[in-house]
Amino acid sequence: MKITIIGTGYVGLVTGACLAELGNDVFCLDVDKSKIDILNNGGIPIHEPGLEEIVARNRAAGRIRFSTDIEASVAHGDVQFIAVGTPPDEDGSADLKYVLAAARNIGQYMTGFKVVVDKSTVPVGTADRVSAALREELTARQSHADFSVVSNPEFLKEGAAVEDFMRPDRIVIGCDSSAQGDKARSMMKKLYAPFNRNHERTFWMDVRSAEFTKYAANAMLATRISFMNELANLADHVGADIEAVRHGIGSDPRIGHSFLYAGCGYGGSCFPKDVQALERTAQDYGLNLLILNAVEAVNARQKQILGNKILKRFDNKLVGKHFAIWGLAFKPNTDDMRAASSRVLLGELLRSGATVAVYDPVSMAEARRVFELDFYDAPELLDAIRYASSPMDALDQADALAIVTEWKAFRSPDFDQLKARLKQPVIFDGRNLFDPTVMNELGIEYHGIGRSVLT
């Protein structure tokens, strides 16, 4: 099928590459010329396991192309996926300006029937706004071209995006019940048929329910994390080990083991903004979502937990102290640092007068870019950051190590070397990578999250 992807970011590029891999003829559009140039020069603008190979293979086979040409992109695809960003507006609601601009672009150039798919995460009711924008453009140029707007939210996880897209646990598609909706449904069915060969993974529903499903999923996952973080903080006070508690409750099939990890807060481009946007939607209808308010508040507090533990351990005196940070990305296997906990910790340490050496396996370049923005008001603090060349290099002469991202590469370090390089063997582990008993035996002072039973 002929597919256009509008927005060649994490979701758009993965969607385009994976649909090309299945034999479709894919046109990827982006307004960011530098991104398109990177792709056309054989590069890849993001770190995502397996993506580079798929893009290269399909480009070579002529099944995927990258361009900034809007008119050509509209002409190409019978199905037009909108996969642009939906960042939070000042009031927390999802800013739809990119989505509506994409819709207008389609409306300005389309000539025949188009299925317009909202793949971006958008609030309930957005499909109606996309339809209105398309209709307005068509009316302005007296076109009778027809369309149907479909909701097909994306559930991929950064760091495992290709795998998630190729082997989804579910595909959610919302279509309306008009004749155009029926036509769109049959085209979407054909497009996704390869994913449903073993068993049906598609959940067909109305458009609003599909839009809501995405927010409900992210809100549920964020809730589990904040709930465990809150329990972990209590565990620290009462002398219980949250890791033992996690096993104890996760074995109940009604609870399950996934997403029960206590840590130093969730980040990324989705959970923080989607929780906020859902709260905002509720407010628009005069409702106050008490649980989600708390989820957000707990997470904001949790992002400060490593900084607070460090301040407490060093009697609030960080001037002249030096720390190592392992992990800057908001989670492993990505270079994405949007809303990453590392940024909160770094800010707390630097603004308290400490110096810091940072290391991340893939997001060092992104870190330099992001920290310039974070410290635009105090650029002198940038001089207090050293970008280390390896995890061990980061440790030299540090008063303590703080672990923020659970990269595999951090899980089994050479502890003898680690102790030798640190000024003193102290670890603040924001992801509970190590066993406190083992740390104790190794003579390492260990501060996990909710593991004070042995510390």
Which parts of 136-195 interact with ligand NAD (CB under 6 A)? 154, 156, 158
Q: In what order do the strands lie in the sheet with 25-29?
A: 64-67, 25-29, 2-6, 79-82, 114-118, 147-151, 171-174, 202-205
Each residue 313-342 as x (binds ligand NAD by CB under 6 A) or -, in order, gives: ------------------------------
Least distance from ligand NAD to the Cβ atom of residue 269, Å: 5
Residue with smaller CB distance to ligand NAD, 68 or 352 = 68
Least distance from ligand NAD to the Cβ atom of residue 190, Å: 23
Single residue of 7, 77, 267, 327 touching ligand NAD by CB under 6 A: 7
Which parts of 66-85 interact with ligand NAD (CB under 6 A)? 83-85
Is residue 235 near ligand NAD by the rule CB under 6 A?
no
**Is-contact 276 420, C-beta < 8 A?**
no
Least distance from ligand NAD to the Cβ atom of residue 8, Å: 5
Identify which range of 10-18, 58-66, 106-114, 424-432 contacts ligand NAD by CB under 6 A: 10-18
H helix intervals, 126-270: 126-140, 161-166, 179-192, 207-238, 242-250
**Is-contact 418 397, C-beta < 8 A?**
no
Task: Supply the residues annotated as catalytic.
Answer: 270
- The answer to whether 306 is a known ligand-binding residue is no
Question: How far lies 41's CA from each of 6, 15, 56, 63, 69, in Å?
Answer: 20, 20, 11, 16, 17
Single residue of 270, 349, 388, 402 touching ligand NAD by CB under 6 A: 270
Burial of 389 (0-12, 13-18, 19+ CB in 10 A): exposed
Q: 288 in the Ramachandran plot: left (φ > 0), alpha (ψ -120 to 50) or beta?
A: beta
Count the site residues for ligand NAD by CB under 6 A.
26
Contacts of 250 (CB under 8 A, 6+ apart): 256, 257, 260
**Is-contact 333 49, C-beta < 8 A?**
yes
Residue with smaller CB distance to ligand NAD, 156 or 260 = 156
The binding site for NAD(+) consists of 30, 35, 86, 121, 158, 273, 338
The binding site for substrate consists of 155-158, 214, 259-263, 267, 331
Interface residue list for ligand NAD (CB under 6 A): 6-12, 29-32, 35, 83-86, 98, 101-102, 120-121, 154, 156, 158, 269-270
